[in-house]
């Protein structure tokens, strides 16, 4: 096996691609509570584990790529959004 070839006998991490609400809140620059609300509303893909909620990193990245921010989302809810 060459030095650059990754080992194939390592266990697969079933939580690879999943992050905590705190990590998601840091990426989206909002509170963990707001992240939980987004999950409850179906705007973020998530799963419940015995230790709590895990959020799909892909769904967080998708929101971040479209320029989602808490301020824009709050404005839309209130009907004040004027995207420029």
pLDDT in tens, 41-76: 999 999 999 989 999 999 999 998 888 765 555 555
Longest CA–CA separation in the chain, Å: 60
The Cα–Cα gap between 64 and 15 comes to 21
Structure tokens at 80: 């004040």
What is the pLDDT, as a whole number, of residue 68? Answer: 72
What is the pLDDT, as a whole number, of residue 38? Answer: 94
The Cα–Cα gap between 39 and 63 comes to 12
Residues contacting 12, CB < 8 A, separation 6+: none
What is the pLDDT, as a whole number, of residue 84? Answer: 42
Q: What is the pLDDT of residues 11-34, one digit of tens each?
A: 555 668 899 999 999 999 999 999
């Amino acid at each position: 096996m060459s030095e650059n070839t990754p080992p194939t006998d390592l266990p697969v991490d079933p939580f690879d691609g999943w992050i905590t609400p705190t990590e998601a809140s840091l990426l989206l620059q909002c509170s963990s509570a707001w992240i939980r609300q987004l999950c409850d509303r179906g705007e973020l893909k998530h799963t419940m584990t015995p230790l709590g909620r895990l959020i799909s990193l892909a769904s967080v990245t998708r929101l971040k790529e479209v320029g989602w921010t808490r301020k824009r989302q709050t404005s839309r809810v209130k009907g004040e959004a004027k995207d420029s």
